[in-house]
Structure 1
Amino acid sequence: MNNDGKQTAPAVTLLPLESFQSAFEPARTGVRTSSVLMGAMISGAVAIAPTAHAQDATLAPVHVEGQHDNAYQAPAAASSPKFTAPLLETPKTITIITEELIKDRGATSLTDVLRSTPGITLGAGEGGTPNGDRPFVRGYEASTDMFIDGVRDYARGSHETFNLESVEIVKGPSSAYTGRGGTGGSINLQTKKPKLQNFTEVSGGFGNAGQWRATVDSNYAFSETGAFRLNMMKMGGEVPGRDGVDVDRWGFAPSIAFGLGTPTRVTLSYSHIDNKDMPDQGIPFSNAAHPELKRPPKVDRDNFYGRVKTDFRLNEMKTATALLEHDFSNDLKVRNVTRHTKTLNHYLLSRPTFDNCAAGNTSSACVPSSPDAQFTRGNRAWWRASESVINQTDLYGSAVLGGFKHTFSTGLEFGKEKIYNKSMSLTGLPSERDSLHNPDSGRYYNYGITYGRKTAAGEIETRSLYFFDTMEINEQFSINAGLRREHFEVDNYTNSRSDGFWNYQAGIVYKPAPNGSIYLSYGTSSNPAGENLGQGGGADGVAGGAQIRDLKPEKSRSWELGTKWDVMNGMLSLTAAVFETKKTDARSTDALTGEVTLNGSNRVRGMEFGVAGAITPKWNVWAGYTYLDPDILNYRSGNSVFDGNRIKFIAKQSASLWTTYEVLPGLTLGGGATYMGMRYANDANTLELPSYTRYDAMARYEVNKNFDLQLNINNISDEEMHEASHVGLFAMVAPGRSYMLNATYRFD
């Protein structure tokens, strides 16, 4: 079979039996080829070997591609050459959600993926803080620590799964790897790339609440070294359990590659995602008139507190990437990636709160259990665009120096990010009161929006130099180290600041057996003022003013002790770790002057366990458990002191289990559960988002080799889940019970 995936003449390459065995060793490659195919190849070689003609002829090699049946295990992080060792020998927790796992669980957005990943909780925008994906990793916000193919994705947006091969979550401080931020970790989205084979996969799905989704993944090898790939997606319908909250999104992602299989390769790719989902801020939460009420009020989960004929959101993300790679030899390679991104986050949404209920208000309108209870429907309008250009150059390989083998990576990164605003003036759209238990979301408003001119609101420039190395002392010990120097400049056209800082990570790895490791690592991160320019408020927002000018970077340090084992002939990965991250020089507000200072501190201690891979060829499993102890050590806001409280939005315990089993030839059943512990929604720890457990299931039947049907049922028990908040003003509501039947057809 040639690189095009087409059948060729029966050419063979004569190899010893040991070579065949090592080539197909599952523990080393993670690829399993059927014994029938292997036997046929070996028998063919033996049958031809005695003939003189076969021995003298120059024959082309046979290219064999095996089917990876270990769908949930990833042998390496694909995001960057900065990872200079395989996962087993990397002294850091890296959680990888593979494409197969994403599909099996029926996840269509990054939020779907993250809500079932232990150690991650979700936050919410409120209008002024932009709406979009807002994850917290190991207790710290990571909304601007997100990457696509190892390159920073700056602007806040809502990410899709249709063009993803995996989601990689690097736990613990990652500034040495990624630059600014990354206190609790970073998230990388690995996209699909062209391959030297021909295939097309078309999927269509329908579900309750009018849900529907269609995707196309088509790859065409137009030469022996070139290929084109196209991924497309369109999705619509409503969110189950949220009346009036509809979904309207599409995506288009073409890519073309030249020189595949040769020393010099060029890949050009583009992605355009439009998200017009109805903005949904959930239900009103905190009630100053009744501060004893700690949890969101009991209301019909289907209630929508927005305006279905008025509210809107347009989130556009356009990304163009050029990747150039060259192999000088097997031991020295270089790559350069240039990324240009343009985004728009534009919306008018309703913010439901109990702003009508001031402290001391004794009216029935402020008693959530009363049929007369009311809430305030406020307005939030936003128009913000961003444009960024980032260039990375990496030189990486391996060499023997000083008698030790070194696997190294060094590089340069340059980036410029700029944001633009338009003011939005509303007429005919009042901030109004409405019934809490029977909100009228279908009202018609004769309103208007007046836009100001587009103006630049701020910019960030970065320059970085980094070096990483894994030194093998012997078969059992290795040392992994990395160092990064970054120069960070931020300017909001009122005030500016420039900082240069170092970050590093170091770890020692001990392998008591070839399939296991024990490691101890230490790392740092830095959060300069303005790193979230345009994506948040306060010292990181456009209005940060003198706060940007006067604040030095926050500093974080972390250690981790862990172990990793590949068992079941290398098909199942087990991980465990204990860790602590401490942020010193954290931002706090001086009670006397009201100025933001660096007198705060906080700390997150915890432990984490993970399982990923296959127990048997028919039985896949992915599971994890995380315990976090997120403490505020020193933090003040005005006259309020929060020392000793738990960091808001963070659950102490979270866990997830998902497993599938092929019960009959072609019939696979799967299911799992996700647990999320209670989270506080404010610094004072007076408002709680309750814990919940969610159950999901799937069934897939392969009608034939080209066609299969898959049914997913998520949130089987129709659990009411409040999964995010913005300082307790409102509580976001997760989808209710969801059914989706998906049909997939594949052809070459």
Structure 2
Amino acid sequence: MSIRAAMLIGAAISAVIAPAVAHAEAADAAPGDYLPPEIVVTAAAHGYAHGDGAAAAKAPTPLIDIPQTITMITADQLNDQATRQLNDALRYVPGVTIGTGEGHRDQINLRGQNTTADFFLDGMRDDAQYYRPLYDVERIEVLKGANALLFGRGGGGGVINRVSKTADPRRAVTDFAGTLDSFGAWAVTGDIARPLSGTAAARLNATYEEFANHRDVYDGRFWGVSPTVTAELAPDTRVIAHYSYGDDRRTTDRGIPSLGTAPLAGHDKTFFGDPAFNQSRAQTHTAQLRLEQRLGADLTLSLGGLMGDYDKYYGNVVPAATNGTTVTLNGYASNTDRRNWLGQGYLVWTPTTGGVRHTIVAGFDAGTQDTTADRYEVDFGGGLRTVTIPLQRALAVPAARLGVRSRATAAELTTFSAYLQNQLDFGPVQVLAGVRHDSFELASTNLLTGAGLSRTDRKWSPRAAIIGKPAADVSLYASYATSFLPQSGDQFGALDTVTADLAPEKFVNWETGIKWAPRRDLVLSAALFRLERSNSRATDPANPALTVLTGKSRVQGVELGLVGRIRPNWQANLGYALMDGEYLTDSAAAPAGRVPGQLPRHQLSAWTRYDLTDRFALGGGLLWQSGQYATASNTVRLPGFARVDLAAYYALSEQVSVQLNIENLLDERYYPSAHGNSNIQPGEPLNGSLSVRFAF
């Protein structure tokens, strides 16, 4: 499909939706009817919209009164799209592009900021490198723009928060599903929840999945189990315990190299690696405990703790370069073991003084994170680390094995943060102001030499906004927020003599926007933003042997969104992002004037479902984006593309339903992601999947 055709489809969707929204039934459009009368954090999703912003704001705040762009993906939408992995779900979020993650982890670019660590689980940090499944997730929250006040370090472009499924003493669930696709991949899931009494309930989610795709070499499997218990110990006291275990094993696929300024043609299925060596294994344990206590009519307390244990190995033989006749390969293997012990607590106080309602959030985050990691260079025989072989459809790659141990580190991170924020509601105007203080103490040891380095960063992160309320269901806002990232990076694995001496990078986000919620299940939004990143490393022009903090970049743009129930039988989640980015000064990433990697200027995502009868429904989606550079070198460009998806749903009975999903209906050839100029991932061709669901 051509880009012009994709633009016409997008325009057609907008033309259809605009009058539908304008003529929404008056009975459903009562002003202010966008938020349920009470917030129940454990409530199940119903449809694509979620007007409660409590999880994102840590306070009982309607989503439209949060001065920040937030995209939510509910369990209903995930089920309709047959989506089981986080990176697949995020493809339908404008402003987010997916990196290949070296074939073994989630990696995204959010408003032009690359990250492997800005992921959260129920508001607590989940920053290890692995693929995150969705079988036990109620919804995904994508909060865009720097905002360290509530989430702490990192998050320069925003953060991704997964909200777990929990047990409800007043609700039973029995749900089983199985899926098989045309490549041979399949999955089974189960979700059982039962009240144990009038005040306690248990829930168990589990899944097993086999991987397959269009590539010559790719397989693997994942299984996970996630039990959770909710106990209402008293009318004002609730405790939630949650545990999740995941075991992921898969082929590590680094994609294809580039030739000249574009992806190498004719080799979309060719595997540029050694199937025996290119393997990854990840075992993850997360255990959470949370206490929610109402202390008074307008005062609540939340205390939470998380233990995370992440054991990870991966091996890579990767394409380094090709001249069209031969291809050069190199590689390595790595082990990482991380243990997180995290705690948080916050008070929410909502008093009214002099006719002004306050929403005050005061809290802390504390934790330790211990990481050991090592790296082995690949050995193709006789200590050879690099080989050049003939380029052909099926490569004859020499057997690879572990070679020299080139790196081994141990790192201990200790953090403590405290924050205070108040959102004052004067009626037609709301004012938000707050500040956070972080202490980030990192000590690392080179286990090969015994050398140790340490650094402590202490940073203040302010946030301020003004929100106009011309009507109860409309908000206009302007906001300012900052964040920071220590020079040790988002994985803080080790320090060197340079990163131990330099102050953190800084992110500043300016945003203004409008949100309109004509009904509780429909939200429209528009925002203008500017995100500036400074204190990036650069070579000192006066002394090339030194590194200085003079690098600066900027990404600015527009985001539009519509999510929810347009008609009683019609739901949609639509988004568009226009992003313009450049390096303003020279940095270690790129000289001034270049565009950040994997930053398409235009992104359009659209997913919709229309219920034709009580039993039969159709769904469809469109992903369109303009071309993007693979990296900040701006030498290799991934072409723009448009992908069309379709779905059909049929209920055989009240308990049994079937679902057909067709991905890439027009069999578009496209390259959605990269990890460097020589590791480019081809998109999947036409693929169908059939699902059967049993719900009782």
TM-score normalised over the length of structure 1: 0.83
Corresponding residue for residue 10 of structure 1 = none
Corresponding residue for residue 152 of structure 1 = 125
Corresponding residue for residue 526 of structure 2 = 576
Q: Report whether the alignment pairs 1:105 with 2:63.
A: no
Q: Hey, which of these two has a bigger chunk of strand by percent?
A: 2
Percent pairwise identity: 29
Aligned pairs for 1:226-241 within 5 A: 226-239=200-213, 241=214
The verdict on how the C-alpha distance between 1:454 and 1:644 changes in structure 2, with shifts beyond 3 A counting, is closer
Corresponding residue for residue 471 of structure 2 = 513
Corresponding residue for residue 667 of structure 2 = 718
SS in 1 for 2:250: coil
Corresponding residue for residue 691 of structure 1 = 640
SS in 2 for 1:306: coil
Matches of 1:262 and 1:660, distance apart in 2:
39
Asked if the contact 2:239–2:291 (Cα under 8 Å) also holds between the matched residues in 1, the reply is: yes
SS in 1 for 2:79: helix
SS in 1 for 2:196: coil
Q: Report whether the alignment pairs 1:341 with 2:313.
A: no
Asked if the contact 1:126–1:351 (Cα under 8 Å) also holds between the matched residues in 2, the reply is: no
Asked if the contact 2:528–2:557 (Cα under 8 Å) also holds between the matched residues in 1, the reply is: yes
The verdict on how the C-alpha distance between 1:641 and 1:576 changes in structure 2, with shifts beyond 3 A counting, is closer
Aligned pairs for 1:290-305 within 5 A: 293-305=260-272
Q: Report whether the alignment pairs 1:626 with 2:577.
A: yes
Matches of 2:309 and 2:44, distance apart in 1:
36
The verdict on how the C-alpha distance between 1:428 and 1:454 changes in structure 2, with shifts beyond 3 A counting, is closer
Corresponding residue for residue 325 of structure 1 = 292
Q: Report whether the alignment pairs 1:606 with 2:547.
A: no
Cα deviation for residue 481 of structure 1 reads: 2.1
Task: Say which of 369, 372, 385 aligns to 1:417.
Answer: 369
Cα deviation for residue 326 of structure 1 reads: 1.0
| Counterpart residue identity of residue 189, structure 2 | T
Task: Say which of 512, 536, 555 aligns to 1:586.
Answer: 536
Cα deviation for residue 471 of structure 1 reads: 0.6
Cα deviation for residue 400 of structure 1 reads: 1.7
Larger radius of gyration: 1
| Counterpart residue identity of residue 129, structure 2 | R
Corresponding residue for residue 199 of structure 1 = 173
Task: Say which of 366, 380, 391 aligns to 1:436.
Answer: 391
Cα deviation for residue 722 of structure 1 reads: 1.5
Matches of 1:304 and 1:459, distance apart in 2:
38
SS in 1 for 2:64: helix
| Counterpart residue identity of residue 453, structure 2 | N
Cα deviation for residue 74 of structure 1 reads: 0.6
Q: Report whether the alignment pairs 1:471 with 2:424.
A: yes
Matches of 1:453 and 1:693, distance apart in 2:
42
Corresponding residue for residue 114 of structure 1 = 90
Aligned pairs for 1:664-679 within 5 A: 664-679=613-628
Cα deviation for residue 630 of structure 1 reads: 0.8
Aligned pairs for 1:176-195 within 5 A: 176-195=149-168
Structure 1, residues 627-648: CA drift from partner, whole Å, max 9, x if none? 01111001244xx961111112
Asked if the contact 1:84–1:469 (Cα under 8 Å) also holds between the matched residues in 2, the reply is: no
Cα deviation for residue 69 of structure 1 reads: 8.7
Matched pairs, number: 656
Structure 1 unaligned regions, length at least 5 = 1-21, 33-63, 288-292, 358-365, 535-540
SS in 2 for 1:209: coil
Cα deviation for residue 152 of structure 1 reads: 0.7
SS in 2 for 1:28: coil
The verdict on how the C-alpha distance between 1:195 and 1:450 changes in structure 2, with shifts beyond 3 A counting, is farther
Matches of 1:550 and 1:335, distance apart in 2:
37
SS in 1 for 2:89: helix
Asked if the contact 2:552–2:587 (Cα under 8 Å) also holds between the matched residues in 1, the reply is: no
The verdict on how the C-alpha distance between 1:428 and 1:584 changes in structure 2, with shifts beyond 3 A counting, is closer
Matches of 1:404 and 1:415, distance apart in 2:
36
Aligned pairs for 1:28-107 within 5 A: 28=33, 71-80=47-56, 82-83=58-59, 85-107=61-83
Corresponding residue for residue 49 of structure 1 = none
Q: Report whether the alignment pairs 1:462 with 2:436.
A: no
The verdict on how the C-alpha distance between 1:684 and 1:199 changes in structure 2, with shifts beyond 3 A counting, is closer
| Counterpart residue identity of residue 78, structure 2 | I
Corresponding residue for residue 500 of structure 1 = 458
Asked if the contact 1:505–1:521 (Cα under 8 Å) also holds between the matched residues in 2, the reply is: yes
The verdict on how the C-alpha distance between 1:452 and 1:313 changes in structure 2, with shifts beyond 3 A counting, is same
Q: Report whether the alignment pairs 1:388 with 2:340.
A: yes
SS in 2 for 1:729: coil
Cα deviation for residue 345 of structure 1 reads: 2.0
Structure 1, residues 483-519: CA drift from partner, whole Å, max 9, x if none? 1111111111321111111111111111112211111
Matches of 1:658 and 1:149, distance apart in 2:
25
The verdict on how the C-alpha distance between 1:659 and 1:27 changes in structure 2, with shifts beyond 3 A counting, is farther
Cα deviation for residue 110 of structure 1 reads: 0.6
Aligned pairs for 1:110-149 within 5 A: 110-126=86-102, 131-149=104-122
Structure 1, residues 32-52: CA drift from partner, whole Å, max 9, x if none? 9xxxxxxxxxxxxxxxxxxxx
Matches of 2:53 and 2:391, distance apart in 1:
48
Corresponding residue for residue 559 of structure 1 = 510
Corresponding residue for residue 4 of structure 2 = none
| Counterpart residue identity of residue 469, structure 1 | N
Aligned pairs for 1:210-359 within 5 A: 210-239=184-213, 241-259=214-232, 262-285=235-258, 293-354=260-321
Asked if the contact 1:590–1:636 (Cα under 8 Å) also holds between the matched residues in 2, the reply is: no
The verdict on how the C-alpha distance between 1:260 and 1:217 changes in structure 2, with shifts beyond 3 A counting, is farther
CA RMSD, 1 decimal: 2.7
SS in 2 for 1:549: coil
The verdict on how the C-alpha distance between 1:391 and 1:70 changes in structure 2, with shifts beyond 3 A counting, is closer
The verdict on how the C-alpha distance between 1:588 and 1:428 changes in structure 2, with shifts beyond 3 A counting, is closer
The verdict on how the C-alpha distance between 1:69 and 1:264 changes in structure 2, with shifts beyond 3 A counting, is closer
Structure 2 unaligned regions, length at least 5 = 1-26, 446-451
Matches of 2:505 and 2:622, distance apart in 1:
37
Corresponding residue for residue 22 of structure 2 = none
Matches of 1:467 and 1:641, distance apart in 2:
37
Cα deviation for residue 244 of structure 1 reads: 1.8
Matches of 2:379 and 2:632, distance apart in 1:
35
Matches of 1:247 and 1:505, distance apart in 2:
44
Corresponding residue for residue 18 of structure 1 = none
The verdict on how the C-alpha distance between 1:565 and 1:23 changes in structure 2, with shifts beyond 3 A counting, is closer
Cα deviation for residue 382 of structure 1 reads: 0.8
SS in 2 for 1:546: coil
SS in 2 for 1:550: coil
SS in 2 for 1:486: strand
TM-score normalised over the length of structure 2: 0.89
Matches of 1:138 and 1:156, distance apart in 2:
20
Asked if the contact 1:522–1:557 (Cα under 8 Å) also holds between the matched residues in 2, the reply is: yes
Matches of 1:467 and 1:401, distance apart in 2:
18
Corresponding residue for residue 483 of structure 2 = 525
The verdict on how the C-alpha distance between 1:555 and 1:309 changes in structure 2, with shifts beyond 3 A counting, is closer
Asked if the contact 1:138–1:171 (Cα under 8 Å) also holds between the matched residues in 2, the reply is: yes
Matches of 1:124 and 1:69, distance apart in 2:
30
Asked if the contact 2:277–2:317 (Cα under 8 Å) also holds between the matched residues in 1, the reply is: no
Structure 1, residues 674-703: CA drift from partner, whole Å, max 9, x if none? 012211123231211111111111111011
Cα deviation for residue 588 of structure 1 reads: 1.8
